[in-house]
Structure 1
């Protein structure tokens, strides 16, 4: 029996600076990210690229607070997906700058990288408001919740 081998991409979608809208936009969803990835693959690599990537591409996790996303794709096609992610410039009309933080062959290493990345982002948030890391705040609750969600992901 042959095992299906995957690559896992940990991507941060950094919102691009834009004019502040009159109301807060809805947070992105996994479905919107998947649609944008599909559109990027088709526009940059054609139907052949989508045919290669389409059956294995899935968005397994997305956190609207830290803007990180875990994407699974087949091992042989991961470079096409990586290229499509890098070439994204907008998701649902919102300008984003994609940053591929980590690529791994196992979900476990991607989970560990995502948890560490969340800690770094929360530390940046705390530093921006000059809050001590030892104090209890909503960020601590977020870290605990997101860690449980990320660890619950299965291949």
Structure 2
């Protein structure tokens, strides 16, 4: 059996109006990505995208604007180089100006998730510096602690399952 190696592009969807993020679906991002690859790389990009690229939008969070795109390892640079050519997304007759900020390229979904946790924690630390009132600072500190505690609990449960002993089946 053949195993296809993949790369996961973790992108941040930046829009001018944050309220318009709820309009987007996976297929809208996929169609925009296909069009961008076609425009940037011509017939070669269109052929690779349709036949062998194996592009799939695995995750789209409408609240935070985080997008996880899976593509084949051999052609992930083709997709990555096409991201700047996406200047708007169209859904239900509405065009929303946007751009994709690729923040991480990983080999697995798990490494992308771990990076996203670290990235969000760093963003919360930056937000803490911009807080004006004590109530805002307390809310941000609570959010930082919730990220940290979830990460520590997740690592403890992962480590407790593997105690080094292997069983013969």
TM-score by length of 1: 0.71
Q: Could you tell me how far apart the structure 2 residues matched to 1:127 and 1:86 are?
A: 30
Q: Could you tell me how far apart the structure 2 residues matched to 1:26 and 1:79 are?
A: 26
Give the aligned length.
135
Say whether residues 1:75 and 2:70 are aligned partners: no
Q: Which of 25, 37, 40 does residue 36 from structure 2 map onto?
A: 40
**Is the CA contact 1:66–1:121 (under 8 Å) kept in the aligned structure 2?**
no
> Displacement, 1:117?
2.8
**Is the CA contact 1:58–1:73 (under 8 Å) kept in the aligned structure 2?**
yes
- 1:30-49 deviation per Cα after TM superposition (whole angstroms, max 9, x unaligned): 11111110111112212321
**Structure 1: unaligned runs, 5 residues or longer:** 145-155
**Structure 2: unaligned runs, 5 residues or longer:** 151-169
> Displacement, 1:94?
1.2
Larger radius of gyration between Structure 1 and Structure 2: 2
> Displacement, 1:75?
0.6
Cα root mean square deviation, aligned: 2.8
Per the alignment, residue 49 of structure 1 pairs with: 45
TM-score by length of 2: 0.66
Matched residue SS, 2:86: coil
Q: Could you tell me how far apart the structure 2 residues matched to 1:96 and 1:25 are?
A: 10
Q: Which of 96, 99, 122 does residue 98 from structure 2 map onto?
A: 96
